[in-house]
Amino acid sequence: MNTEKMKQEVAQTDAKIELLKLLSRKSESIDERLERIEQLTLLSAKDALTMDDAAAYTGLSKSYLYRLVCKKRIPYHKSAGGKQTYFAKKELCNWLLKHRVSSIEEA
């Protein structure tokens, strides 16, 4: 095999490797999207949300939700033993929409 042909084969192999890396990243992205869709679908069927559920539903971080709970700035419920924190989805939605800002046309 001559040097020029070897260079071409190495270049083709490198191109194939890059393509495989790209396809792998796209596959992970699709898997992440599907997981998010599945999570949101399951959330839509629930009335009581866990801390993880509430974070996914609101887009707020769990640590921020914990701070709001500790300061009693957000409506929440505790389990019978007091270890678990739950949120009523309807109450959470009302809390999110509580501070409405009027548009220019409404003013």
Read off the CATH number of the domain in which 65 is found.
1.10.1660
Tell me how many domains the chain contains: 2
Q: What pLDDT does 1 receive?
A: 61
Distance of alpha carbon 53 from the chain centroid: 10
Q: Is residue 35 domain-shared with residue 50, that is, in the same domain? A: no
Compute mean pLDDT per 10 residues along the chain, 107 residues long, and list them: 75 77 73 81 88 92 97 95 93 92 87
- Cα(50)–Cα(7) distance, integer angstroms: 58
Q: What is the pLDDT of residue 9?
A: 78
* pLDDT the model gives residue 31: 78
pLDDT for res 92:
95
Rounded to a whole number, what is the largest CA-CA distance in the chain?
Answer: 80
**Is there a single domain that holds both residue 56 and residue 103?**
yes
* Pair (64, 41) in one structural domain: no
- Shared-domain flag, residues 13 and 58: no
52 and 41 in a common domain:
no
> What residue numbers bound the domain in which 4 lies?
1-45
